[in-house]
Amino acid sequence: MKVKVDYDLCESNGLCVMAAPDVFDLRDDDQLYLLDETPGESRRGAVEDAVQVCPKQALRIEG
């Protein structure tokens, strides 16, 4: 699985961070950071939750 972030759409609201804090991070500069572009399959459920809660649909999973 590969996680993609469309930073042009992303508002850095942090909902994805709450769903998968080991994959996404919202730092003091109010920017979203992708910590793990290829998380293991054991994290698929959390990453799928993050994709679903993104209000701007800025996240997607490949593979």
Q: pLDDT of 22-56, one tens digit each?
A: 999 999 999 999 999 999 999 999 999 999 999 99
The predicted structure's pLDDT at residue 22: 98
| Whole-number pLDDT of residue 47 | 98
The model's pTM: 0.93
The total of structural domains in the chain comes to: 1
Q: 41: domain range?
A: 2-62
Strands (E), 1-63: 2-5, 24-26, 32-34, 59-62
Nearest CA to 5 among 55, 43, 52, 51?
A: 51
CATH of the domain at 21: 3.30.70.20
